[in-house]
Structure 1
Amino acid sequence: MTYQEKKSIVSVITAILIFVSYCLYMYPQYPGGGVESSEVFRYWGSFVLFLTLFSIVAHIIISIIFNIVFRMTTNEKEPTFADELDKLIDLKANRNSFFVFVIGFLFAMGSLVFYQPSQVMFIILITSGFISDVTGSVTKLYHYRRGV
C-alpha cells in the first residue's frame, strides 16, 4: 500500500472520528428555547465555527502524527513532490468534494424555501460539509487504487 493510500484511509477515519466526537460533545449543549430564538442561532453559529477550527487543528495534528509513525515504521520519508498523476487525482477529488458540498448547499437553501426551520438548514450544511470531506478522501483512495 502506497503512502497516498494510507494517508487517504487515515483521512477518512479522522474525518469520521472528528465529526462524530464533536457532534457528541455539542449535542447536550443545544439550547432548549424556541425554535427560532437567538440562542439557537448562537448555538449553530458557534457549532459551525468551532467545528471548522477543531477540524483544521485535529487534521494538522493527526497528519503530523501519521507522518512520524509512517517514517518510524517504514524508514521512508513523505514524498516531497507530486507528479501529474497526484495532481490529477487531487483535482478529481476536489471536484467531487465541491460537487457534494454545492448539492448540500442547494438542499439547505431549498429547505428555507419550503419553510423548514432554520436548524434544518444548518444540519444540512454541516452534514454536506462532512460528506464532502469524506467524499474527497474516498475519491483519492479509489483513484490511487484503481487508477485514473
Structure 2
Amino acid sequence: MSYQEKRTIVSIITGLFILVAYGIYAFEKYQSGVIAADDIKAWAGIMLVFIGIGVVLAIVIQIVFHILLSITIAIQERARTGRCGDDKEIEKTISAKMVTDEMDKLIELKSMRVSFIIAGIGFVTALVTQLFNYPPAVLLNVLFISFSAGSLLEGLAQIYFYRRGIKNG
C-alpha cells in the first residue's frame, strides 16, 4: 500500500470519527431538549466547535501518522540492509516513499470533483429545506453533513483511483 493510500485512509478514519461524534452529540442534545430546532446560534456554535476539533485532531493524527510511518520505514530499511545507517540515508528513503507525481495530482483532482459534487448537492438540498419551511438548523446540519460526506467520499474516491487506476481524459 502506497504512502498516499495510507495517508488517505487515516484522513477518512479521522473525518468519520468527527462526523459520528458530531451526530451523536447533536442528536443527544436535540433529543434531550437542550437545543431547540430553531436555535440557530446554538447549532452554529456546536458546528464551529466540531470544525475546530476536527482541524486540530486531523493535524495531530497526521503528525503521529508521519512519525509512525517514518519509524516503520527506518525499521524496514534496517531489516533490509542489516545495518542501522545514518539519519541522512533514512531521511532519503522516507522522502523517496513520500513523493507525489503527476498520477497522484490527477487522482487528487478527480477525487476532489467527487467532493465538490456532494457539497453542491448538499447546498442545493439545504436551500430546498428552506422552501419547505424546515427550521434553519436543518439547513445548517444538511450543509455540515454534506461537506463532511463530500470529504469522506473524496478520500474513498482516492482509494478507488489508486486501486483501480485512472484514464487520462
For normalisation by structure 2, the TM-score amounts to 0.77
Counterpart of 2:16?
16
Rg larger in structure: 2
| 1:94 pairs with one of 96, 112, 116 | 112
Give the 3 Å change call, closer, same or farther, for CA 121–90 of structure 1 in structure 2.
Answer: same
Distance across 2 between alignment mates of 1:44 and 1:142: 34
TM-score by length of 1: 0.87
How many residue pairs get matched?
Answer: 145
Aligned residue number for residue 118 of structure 1: 136
State the Cα RMSD in Å.
1.9
Q: Could you list the runs of 5+ residues in structure 2 that have no partner in the other structure?
A: 75-92
Consecutive unaligned residues in structure 1, runs of 5 or more:
none
**Contact 2:126/2:140, CA 8 A, preserved across alignment:** yes
* Alpha-carbon shift at residue 81 of structure 1 (Å): 3.9
Partner of 1:55: 54
Shift of 1:141: 0.7
Residue range with higher mean Cα deviation, 69-78 or 43-52: 69-78
Task: State the 1:34 CA deviation.
Answer: 5.3
2:94 matched to 1:77?
A: yes
* Poorly superposed stretches of 4+, deviation over 6 Å: none
Q: Secondary structure, in 3 states, of the residue corresponding to 2:94?
A: coil
Structure 1 distance, partners of 2:55, 2:36, is 32
Letter in 2 for 1:18: I
Cα distance in 2 for partners of 1:108, 1:61 equals 32
